[in-house]
Structure 1
Amino acid sequence: MKLLITGANRGLGLALTTEAIKRGHSVLAGVRNPEQGADALRHLSADFPSQLKIVPLNVTNEDTCMKASKQLEADDIRLDAIINNAAILNERGKAIEELDIEKVEESFQINLFGTMRVIKHFLPVLVKGPNSTILNISSEAGSFQNAYGGDYPYALSKSAVNMFSEQLRKYLSNEQVSVFAVHPGWIKTDMGGEKAPGTPEDSARGLLDIIERKKELEGSPTFINFKGEPMPF
């Protein structure tokens, strides 16, 4: 399979890229700035040049999304899966009275609008059918039932990602493309912190199992965790 993974240079994105390559898949690794902070990806690309291509892709810049997708069309490359992983967590722990609204807008620009930009431009090069998948990385923080009165920019933007995923699922229902918003678990990344009980590698394995149809999902959930279990909206 050919996968597009955004935010692929670190954390869960890097783990997903590594795991996908181990399983024999080809990855287009979207990175905001390939010249900075992408050393691990470059080393991986040197070891697996036929399976990994690093693509300049800034999800806040629509031109980079359009340029990258047009290049795929020109090269006659079709995708089997899109994983929207690029995200930001800012204004952590701030009360509503303390929030910098510009930081809230930044969260939506990356977490929600970035996801939408990627789908807008890469959906035309996604193979349509029952074996194709869109994974939008979300969070339990975006669940209405799990609202905890904090991390407003992150929680609100991820809740919107859940809604966008449901909308997209309905839009693509006749095409049989699977669309999920996925809680990857609390994992040890720059975002999750060192106290997190899980690892990005464990989460990546679960997410790839979902894409490879190795997990039996109960019912027809849109919001799930990395084990394929339904999450409450």
Structure 2
Amino acid sequence: MKKTILVTGCNRGIGFCLIQKLIKDVNNIVIGTTRSNTSALSDLKEANHDRLHIIEMDVGIEKSITDAFLKISNLSTSLDVLINNAGYAPDKTKKGENVSRSDMMDAFEINTLGPLLVIQQSLPLLRNGLMKKIINISSLLGSHAMNPGRQIAYSTAKCALGMITSVFAKELESEGFAIVAVHPGTVATDMRPDLKLPGAMPHIQPEESADGILNNAVFTKENLNGRFITWNGETMAW
């Protein structure tokens, strides 16, 4: 069965690994969005030009999203899966008392409003698809129960993404949708350079995270609508 899958933030880290793995299945048509290209992304596109499409899109800018979806709609009349992966963490080391309004707004624009607008633009295409899945890449930091007390801007934005997941799950359940929030693990990406240092806390690589997201959220037969899970399929407390 042919499947069309949209992945936001595909130029590096988990997003790049997701499209790299998805494109290995000849039945997958993959649409990736990114603010900026990379040589690795260009090479992957060149090697899979018939099934991999790269669209410029900045999830922090509404016009960029609407312009991108004009192009996406010209590529395909349907989507099976949306993976809302693009994200931004502006305040890794600041305590709550020092976080600025601009930090809060930047985190909210990209991690909350961006995914919301992408979902809204995707819905007409997803309604034409067979799988009807929306995967929102969240974070342990977006969990009230699991957050250790840090990164207030990023954490607040991801927590709000959880509510978006919950509301859409209830609104679209009768249409056969599955909307899921996923903690991708503590992943060594460019967003977490500290994990690449000697003595870093336990973590996983982007490839392992991507495998888990695909196996346990995207292609699982289990009904996960409205759930918050980890990359390895465990339930995450809201």
Match of 1:28 among 8, 27, 31: 31
Percentage of matched positions with identical amino acids: 32
Aligned to 1:89: 89
Question: Any unmatched runs of 5+ in structure 2?
Answer: none
Aligned to 1:50, what secondary structure does the other structure show? coil
Aligned to 1:126, what secondary structure does the other structure show? helix
- Between Structure 1 and Structure 2, how many residues are aligned? 228
1:43/1:129 CA distance change after superposition, 3 Å: closer
Q: Which amino acid aligns with 2:206?
A: P
Residue 140 in 1 paired to residue 140 in 2? yes
- What is the rounded CA distance, in whole Å, between the counterparts of 2:47 and 2:76 in structure 1? 24
Deviation at 1:23, TM superposition (A): 2.5
- RMSD of Structure 2 on Structure 1 (CA): 1.8
Deviation at 1:175, TM superposition (A): 1.0
- What is the rounded CA distance, in whole Å, between the counterparts of 1:141 and 1:223 in structure 2? 12
Deviation at 1:226, TM superposition (A): 1.1
Aligned to 1:207, what secondary structure does the other structure show? helix
- Give yes or no for contact 1:4–1:82 (8 Å, CA) kept in 2: yes
TM-score (norm 1): 0.91
After the TM superposition, which residues 180-199 of structure 1 pair with which residues of structure 2 at under 5 Å, given as runs?
180-192=180-192, 193-194=195-196, 195=200, 197-199=203-205
Aligned to 2:12: 10
Q: Which amino acid aligns with 1:15?
A: C
Q: Deviations over 1:66-101 (max 9, x none)?
A: 122223334443111001111111111211221122
TM-score (norm 2): 0.89
- Give yes or no for contact 1:129–1:177 (8 Å, CA) kept in 2: no
- Give yes or no for contact 1:221–1:230 (8 Å, CA) kept in 2: no
Residue 54 in 1 paired to residue 38 in 2? no
- What is the rounded CA distance, in whole Å, between the counterparts of 2:130 and 2:47 in structure 1? 32
Deviation at 1:225, TM superposition (A): 0.8
- Give yes or no for contact 1:142–1:157 (8 Å, CA) kept in 2: yes
Q: Deviations over 1:185-233 (max 9, x none)?
A: 011101233235201111111111231225x46x765111112221100
